[in-house]
A and B are shown apart, each in its own frame.
Chain A
Amino acid sequence: MSLRIQLEKEFGTRWYLYAVGKTILQANRCLLGTLLLALTFQSSIFSQSTDSIIAQLPEWQSRVVKLTGAGGFERLESHQSGCLISPDGLILTVWSYVLDGDVTSATLYDGRKFDARLIGYDPESELAVLQIEDRGLPHFDLNSPAIIEIGSTVFALSNLYGIASGNEPVSVLRGSVLGFSRLNAKRGGKQIPYREKVMALDVVTSNPGSPGGAVVNRHGLMVGVIGKELQDANTNAWISFAIPSEQLKPIVDRIMLAKSSPKPSVGRPPTESLTARLLGLELVPDILPNTPPFVERTRPGSAAELAGIKADDLIVEVNGILVQSIRDLIAQLELIDRDSSVTITVERNQAFHQHVLRADR
């Protein structure tokens, strides 16, 4: 806080800088590096500025609303963020317990507070649409999604930690796009169904209050909506990500039309699947959570033996897909029809060998 006072003194009364360094050791996280800058300024200072970003930030901030609802005890925060996506008050946010109370209120940039009505939510992406009764509101346009490159600067606009209240604008964090990756996340040990390619962010947004906020590019175009606080399914690390804009429109349309989301077409198992046994592969006992798929032996006369697979081979790929454990291998084989041929890559003497085989009838 001394920093704030010092800066206020130096900047005079027209400038306020809130450097809120909040260290959160919630569960396993040390989320800092979260230097939060909420810049509240009078745009007149920049009226002649050549810097369009800074001049336009207040306008971008005005498209994000502060949501308050259920929660507010223990570690359950009662606030999150939402993005206005139409002039008549549609708000895109994440589905959470915050929306699960009797009343969810949305507070605009100018301090006006509305009761927000839940229109619907999409169980797979865990996004929800709310509506407030007003007209002519600032908003993001989902119809022309912006494409963004890895490494590009982005701004995350959200009410993280619920710091902003009343007519205070939401907080702005600077960051960049770390990369894109299929979401493979969990919450409290439960796998999250959404498996689309999401935008990994080089700015920590996995903080209470952030989810539902907007990620915008340097032109103020929305490139994604900040996802929920989730952990990577493999590493347990908290991840900062956004659902990219191009995925948002279809999801919102589904919610508006109250259609249930179609199940992904991939992964439907064939009527009769392949198994290691059908191929003549006997694997080492699967005793570890991640037992390596070593071949114990091949059944004499089986497809595996005839194809040249040998005892002690380590199975690396099934039809080009990496299998890191026996469990992975079984799951991959299950997706293959019993009568299809399959390419199995094994590692033997520091080299990969590919074998094409088909189960005996």
Chain B
Amino acid sequence: MEWKWDLLRLEFSPLVLTLFLLTFHGLAWQPTTLAAQYLSEQHEAAILAAARQNENSVVQIELIGGNPSFGQENSGAGPFSGTVIGRDGLIVTSGNFFAAPFAGIVVSTGDQGRLPARLVARDHSRNLALLKIEAPPAAWTEAKFIDGESLQVGQTVIALGRSLDSHTCSISFGILSATNRIGGKALQLDAKINLRNYGGLLVALDGRPIGVLAPLAPDSSSPDAGLDWYDSGIGFAIPIDAVHRSVGRLRHGEDQHIGQLGIMFDPTASPFDPPEIRSVHPGSPAALAGFRGGDLIVKLNGRTPNRISQVQDWVAPLYSGDAVEMVVSRKGDLVTALPELTSELPPYSQPLLGLIPDENSNPTSAKILMTWEGGPGAKAGLRGGDVIWQIDGEPTRNWERVREILNAKLPGDIITIDLRDSSNNNRSVQIELGKMNAEIWLEPSIKLANSFVAKSIKNAEFKNKATLFTSESSNLAKTLLVWLPEAGAPANDEWQAKLANSIPDTLALLVIESTDSQKWQTDDEEVVMEFLSLARRQLGADINQVAIGGHRSGASMAVLIGSRNRQFFQGLALRECGNSEPMDRLVVKPGLPLMIWLNRESSKEVVDSLPDLETSPPNNGQLPIFIDLKSYQSDVDFIQAIGSWALQLNRL
């Protein structure tokens, strides 16, 4: 954020611009230019005239019983500002003020007294709200859209509000910083925009209304988006013509939402790449219209996009309910459809085949490692060792392709899979996809087994010993488990012998000893995080998830570190977790997807102390909560169990 502001400030500050200009004109000879542009009484008089011309379009609004507060700033119950947009008593203001419940709306302008108003509807795409007053005073004038010179960056703009005092308008002025911001929906300006003038009117120096002020932020449609940019020199206004179009929709009483199409582009693609759809959200307007991954968009509402950013810019201003005429090129054929945008995409529910892929033996084939008894795949006759070479006629040369195809499906969809079994016989099966769940396939007897290598990880700053165990054929590890043994327990070479041939090679294990041989200390957190980052560097980019766990005091430490560094850990694995020292400071908030393996009642207390654990299962079963109360004889047994769990994280 900060660098952005810096840039803006330097680019758009009127004084800097002027001074630059003056440099080239020869400052010493024309000092009046500086004054003429920004300090002149004529400029000031023009601003005042433009403000006066529009003051009857700006009203004050207060809420009764309302107290929308979000984040640090708080809209309060007003007063804030509004803009008269229609002669019939229509007033438009900033939508964020109505995010929380309220009982009444009161509108006033100096001499006209207070009038009751009601909320007609909100525009969630442009953060506007439309209010209606039954008997508007005759003195009010509507903020009209007047066609004129196109807006230019650098021109003076005047922001009017009426929150300081209902008898006079507040005046803030600056220049236009940009047009077409926030997906082409907003003007950006450097005048001071804040809770005092949100909802007020933006006018040009010639007195033309040009926009309605509203807080906005890119990539966010939450009610507090942009509020923390108040007085920052970054302010936004919805252009007045767009406000009128919005009012035209809102006046029927229906909220307007951002329109969702449901197409995804390659996240690694540049905005300048051709707009080839990577995938289509299942059940979305794009999916219902028949579009799919691989389609290249050649036409959108009559225009030809040649890069991804154009498609994004053209769709962003549209509302839910708008239809988009879209033509795609698919293997040389042109396909046309008219998807109607929706306000919300259907929640994505991951389909389930019920198998674990063998991602290691041959990277150029989708070979099944094992299937889950009772799963859709096993029921349809899929077995470990089978190779999936085609789904619905699409060749599948690797598991990545299988995943891509499945990601566009929903539970309940029926797919046709062409298989080659271990004796090279081909067959074709139909499978109705199940729904991914959080269930663990208990004790799959997986024998995998590459021998493990132990690498010592060192950091000169810390004296702790840390060892990273990975499969010999490295780069296969998808899950990293950070294991904190009981304080004082050595991470010695015995581990290697025990672990060899006992855990799947998709698991990497980082064992870190405590600094103090008597106990884990809170200072060890830094050590653990440092070793984790060193280990991640060695393992490369293939790690999909990191879990942290431990035994006894190490388990307590794991809870502490895991809860403080949620962004780094997707799971927690505890063996005989006791209430030793760091536990006193245990604060675990809901929201962290936890995988919890427990084997003693003492550990169950920890789970009970985690609020909402039972009531908020993680999404799509990717990180199940699993409570196993069995005893494990040793860390190795336990880690082996975690290994088979970790393997299941890659299930399909």
Contact = CB atoms under 8 A, between A and B. Distances in A.
Contacts of A118: none
Given A33-B231, A178-B171, A232-B195, A292 B65 contact: yes
A352 B115 contact: yes
A23 B2 contact: yes
A240 B170 contact: no
Nearest to A31: B231
Interface string A30-57: 1111010100000001100111011000
B34 A179 contact: no
A30 B31 contact: no
A32 B9 contact: yes
B31 A45 contact: yes
A235 B104 CA distance: 19
Given A293-B64, A316-B106, A21 B6 contact: yes
A351 B228 CA distance: 36
A17 interface: yes
Contacts of B74: 234-236
A174 B16 CA distance: 12
Contacts of A179: 161, 164-165, 168-171, 196
A179 B163 CA distance: 9
B190 A33 contact: yes
Interface in A164-195: 174, 176-181
B342 interface: no
Interface in B200-235: 228-234
A47 B229 CA distance: 42
A240 B487 CA distance: 56
Contacts of B62: 322, 324
Interface stretch (A127-135, A136-144, A146-154): A146-154
Contact of B44 (A151, A232, A292, A293): A151
Interface string A320-337: 001111000000000000
A19 B18 CA distance: 13
Given A51-B32, A179-B165, A153 B39 contact: yes
A3 interface: yes
Nearest to B39: A53
A337 B65 CA distance: 26
A294 B103 contact: yes
Max count, chain A CB within 10 A of own CB: residue among B44, B62, B171, B195: B171
A181 B15 CA distance: 28
A178 B35 contact: no
Given A11-B27, A51-B34, A151-B48, A21 B41 contact: no
A74 interface: no
Given A23-B5, A33-B231, A322-B106, A234 B192 contact: no
A85 interface: no
Interface residues of B, number: 69
A178 B31 contact: no
B396 to A, nearest CB: 50
B192 A204 contact: yes
A288 B106 contact: no
A331 B560 CA distance: 48
A289 interface: yes
A234 B46 CA distance: 33
A237 B195 contact: yes
A277 interface: no
Contacts of B195: 232, 235, 237
Interface in B1-52: 1-2, 5-6, 9-10, 13, 15-16, 19, 23, 27-28, 31-32, 34-35, 38-39, 41, 44, 47-48, 51
B191 interface: yes
A288 B67 contact: yes
A10 interface: yes
Nearest to B133: A350
Interface in A76-111: none
Interface residues of A, number: 68
- Interface of B: prevailing SS: mixed
Given A202-B172, A324-B62, A351-B134, A237 B73 contact: yes
Given A35-B16, A293-B64, A181 B164 contact: yes
B111 to A, nearest CB: 13
B194 interface: yes
B63 interface: yes
Interface in A225-283: 232, 234-238, 240
A13 interface: no
Contacts of B1: 30
A290 interface: yes
B283 interface: no
Max count, chain B CB within 10 A of own CB: residue among A37, A174, A350: A350
B630 to A, nearest CB: 48
Contact of B77 (A30, A234, A237): A234
A23 B8 CA distance: 12
B76 interface: yes
A312 B77 CA distance: 20
Nearest to B44: A153
A223 interface: no
Contacts of B39: 51, 53-54, 153, 174, 218
A235 B334 CA distance: 55
Given A151-B171, A202-B172, A314-B103, A49 B164 contact: no
Contacts of A10: 23
B171 A202 contact: yes
A240 B44 CA distance: 21
Contacts of A3: 10, 16
A180 B164 contact: yes
B72 A11 contact: no
A235 B15 contact: no
B34 A54 contact: yes
A163 interface: no
B27 A15 contact: yes
B134 A235 contact: no
Contact of A240 (B71, B116, B161, B231): B231
Contact of A30 (B5, B103, B134, B168): B5
A30 B228 contact: yes
Contacts of B76: 234-235
Contact of B168 (A19, A150, A232): A150
B114 A178 contact: no
Max count, chain A CB within 10 A of own CB: residue among B32, B74, B118, B192: B192
A155 to B, nearest CB: 9
A180 to B, nearest CB: 6
A200 B31 contact: no
A316 B104 contact: yes
A151 B75 CA distance: 24
B102 interface: yes
B13 A35 contact: yes
B47 A290 contact: no
A37 B16 CA distance: 9
Nearest to B69: A236
A350 B77 contact: no
B10 A19 contact: yes
A200 to B, nearest CB: 6
B104 A347 contact: yes
A291 interface: yes
A202 B192 contact: yes
B66 interface: yes
Contacts of A325: 64-65, 77
Contact of B73 (A11, A177, A181, A235): A235
Given A51-B32, A240-B231, A176 B171 contact: yes
14 contacts: A21-B6, A28-B73, A31-B231, A32-B232, A33-B233, A54-B39, A151-B47, A180-B165, A202-B191, A235-B75, A237-B194, A288-B67, A293-B64, A314-B64
- Nearest first, the 6 A-B pairs at minimum CB distance are A292-B65, A33-B233, A292-B103, A28-B72, A179-B170, A234-B76
Given A176-B44, A204-B192, A289-B67, 17 more contacts: A11-B23, A23-B5, A28-B228, A150-B171, A151-B47, A174-B39, A178-B196, A179-B161, A179-B168, A179-B171, A200-B170, A202-B173, A288-B65, A292-B64, A292-B65, A314-B104, A323-B64
